[in-house]
Chain A
Amino acid sequence: MAEISIKAEKLFEIWGFPVTNALVLAVISALIILALAFLLKRQLRMIPGKFQGFFEFILDELLSLMDSVLPSRQISEKYLPIIATIFIFIMLSNWLGLLPGVGAINFLSVHPAPLLRSPASDLNFTIALGIISILSVNLLGIGAIGLTKHFSKFFTVKSPINSFVGILEFISEFVKIISFSFRLFGNVFAGEVLLTIVGFLVPYFLPLPFLALELFVGFIQAFIFSMLTLVFIAMAVQEPAH
């Protein structure tokens, strides 16, 4: 049975910078997204083709979803980039991690390790996204209502209760990063472990339903991550209640 490691395996180093298998797949995901973006940019037309139509459909669905949380379509369009990018990047990374060969092809070095690993099964990926998400929430909040008003949600001297609640809110911002990162990491890593064990016990046919389940989990986790970010943004850009 393949060794299950909670941390991504280091493949090699470039000038002291460790390159892990999760980072390699994350970069591959990024390159695929960039390639699709350039391809789409070249094909953009007023009358859309199938390719452009597909992207328009995805963005329109996302915008409709955002409209249900945010007050208007213009505000939804303003925050679309961060939400859509989180969703697309996480979902593609999760799905690429399910491809045959990922985890099976070894990189031959001093310590043989899988060449590729699902990016979200590495805490560095999920924590990085969590930090970016919470940072964006706060920055967009500052941009929408101003620095003073935004931080008055956390630090206030109006009443002792409000001060205490504010400090709890401030701590919860950091907790959100941990909750974001460990939720995604836990789900994807558990999926990988599950697939490895099922594949080891019954190699034929039985892994298929689990693979389908992991496809769904990959989508749902990306959706949850982006929707939570959206809800936090919606809360952050509102004026604080007096």
Chain B
Amino acid sequence: MSSLFSQLGVNWKLLLAQGVNFLIILTVLTVFVYRPLLKIVEERKKRIEFGLKGAEEADRILKEIDDVKKEKLSEAEKKALEIITLSEKEAAKKAVAIVTVSEKKAEGILKEASEVAKKKRTEELDNVKKEAEHLIKEALIKTVELSPRQVDENLIGRALEFLGKKA
């Protein structure tokens, strides 16, 4: 057996040396390459998964925000339409009210104006009456100031004159 090993060049020292050589490589590669590399790959995988999940979450949130935005916009449109309709109705009501009030005011003004005119006329009439009274009074005073005999004579004269003409 040892002759066969010798013929094939098998030597326990060389066997040991080759084995140790391999074990050194195995140890160094395990410590410096496989473990750190697998750790990094795992870490990267986790980060990518986290990133993808984050992106999905962000997409979902964006979609939700978009939906909420659309909902709010449609709500706002509805509200705006309601407000406009309400405002138009109120405006119409107010217009009617304003017209009614204006008409009433106009009527009032007209009434006032006619009353003022009436009053003025009455005042003018009163003034005319007062003036007439005054004139009559003046005329009576002047008449009274004349001597009754002269007046009578005058009156008799006029009467006679009238009668003469008639005759």
Binding site for B on A (CB under 8 A): 6-8, 17-18, 20, 23, 26-27, 30, 33-34, 37-38, 40-41, 44-46, 48, 52, 55-56, 59-60, 77, 80-82, 84-85, 88-89, 119, 122-125, 127-129, 131-132
Contacts and interface: CB of A to CB of B under 8 A. Distances in A.
Interface string B14-46: 111111011111101110111011101101100
Contacts of B30: 81, 85
17 contacts: A6-B7, A37-B32, A38-B32, A40-B37, A46-B44, A59-B37, A81-B30, A81-B34, A82-B26, A85-B25, A85-B29, A119-B18, A122-B14, A128-B18, A128-B19, A129-B22, A131-B15
Given A6-B8, A123-B8, A85 B14 contact: no
Given A44-B40, A124-B11, A23 B17 contact: yes
Q: What 7 pairs across the A-B complex have the smallest Cβ distances?
A: A7-B9, A128-B18, A124-B14, A128-B19, A41-B32, A81-B30, A85-B26
Given A6-B9, A33-B25, A132-B23, A80 B18 contact: no
B166 interface: no
Nearest to A38: B32
A30 B13 contact: no
Interface residues of B, number: 32
Given A46-B44, A55-B37, A81-B34, A17 B29 contact: no
A20 B13 CA distance: 11
Contacts of A60: 41
Contacts of B13: 17-18
Nearest to A182: B8
Contacts of A85: 22, 25-26, 29-30
A41 B40 CA distance: 11
A84 B32 contact: no
B20 to A, nearest CB: 9
B3 to A, nearest CB: 13
A6 B5 CA distance: 11
Nearest to B43: A46
Given A85-B29, A123-B10, A23 B18 contact: yes
A49 B37 CA distance: 13
B32 to A, nearest CB: 4
Nearest to B24: A30
Contact of B21 (A30, A45, A59, A81): A30
